[in-house]
Amino acid sequence: MAAAFAVEIDGLVKTYGGVRAVDDLSIQVPQGCFFGFLGPNGAGKTTTIKMLMGLAQPDAGSIRILGMQLPAESLEIRREIGLVPDDSLLFDYLNGSEYLEFVGRLYGLARPLAQERGAELLGLFQLADNKRKLIGEYSKGMRKRIAMAAALIHRPRLFLMDEPFEGVDAVGARLMKDILLEQVQHGATVFLTSHVLEVVERLCDRIAIINKGKIVTQGTIDELRQQSQSGANTLEEIFVNIVGAERYTDRLEWL
């Protein structure tokens, strides 16, 4: 029987230099959900994503992904995940075609199938004209596109995405959003971090907000509005009120 939750995090703790970057974090993400994981800079979002990816080990707590336990079933889990990490994790000395074939082969696709899907994805993401260009020469937006193409090549059941729209132009962002929504409609789950709150508000079924390593609220956007004590309506207003940010009142004479 399929697991009810794509991601189950219970009591997760990660400490760096005596500071808890993630502090007793617990989240459940239903399968087929578009989940937004939000927080200010340094709140613990990327650390959490790294632990879900298996790139960092928690000091305490447990992680289950698609009903499987990390780290015991990490190999099986990785076969089911599509990653869009920080763009520095790409291979700069491969071109787009080589990179997609390489990722497809890592996921066990036969070379002809990896090449076929890679060519189709390059076309879909409007990168076919640059298929021989080294990834190290890509713009930031192109790097995000090739990362998402690589995340799709093995048809994963869960996408883990760290700022997938950062540096992407409007056309590319629209394309990426449409593809992700289609994947969710087909039963996949998306777990993403983003500072573009308008995009999160439009896309996400459920949202969790983390601050100083702790979850401060989670739920649907309507539930977050109801929890807001200030009558906030937009996700930006809710977010700013929850994390305690204030409008600046000081003025520089020369500015």
**CA Rg value for the chain:** 19
pLDDT, tens digit (0-9, with 9 covering 90-100), for 181-217? 999 999 999 999 988 898 899 999 999 999 999 999 9
Q: Where are the beta strands (DSSP E) in 93-199?
A: 158-162, 189-193
Q: Domain residue spans in the chain?
A: 88-155
| Dist CA 179 CA 152 (whole Å) | 10
Q: Which residues contact 137 (CB under 8 A, 6 or more apart)?
A: none
* Mean of pLDDT over the chain: 90
C-alpha distances in Å from residue 125, one per residue of 4, 138, 141, 186: 32, 13, 11, 20
Is residue 163 within 8 A of residue 194, CB to CB? The reply is yes
φ/ψ of 95, rounded to 5, equals -85, 175
Q: What is the pLDDT of residue 225?
A: 84
Q: Are 190 and 34 in contact, with CB atoms under 8 Å apart? A: yes
Model pLDDT, residue 53: 87
DSSP 108: T
Q: How many residues does the chain have?
A: 255
For residue 182, give every residue at least 6 positions away whose Cβ sits within 8 Å of its Cβ, in sequence order, or none.
none
Locate 115 and state its tokens.
């090449």
Residue 96 pLDDT greater than 80, yes or no: yes
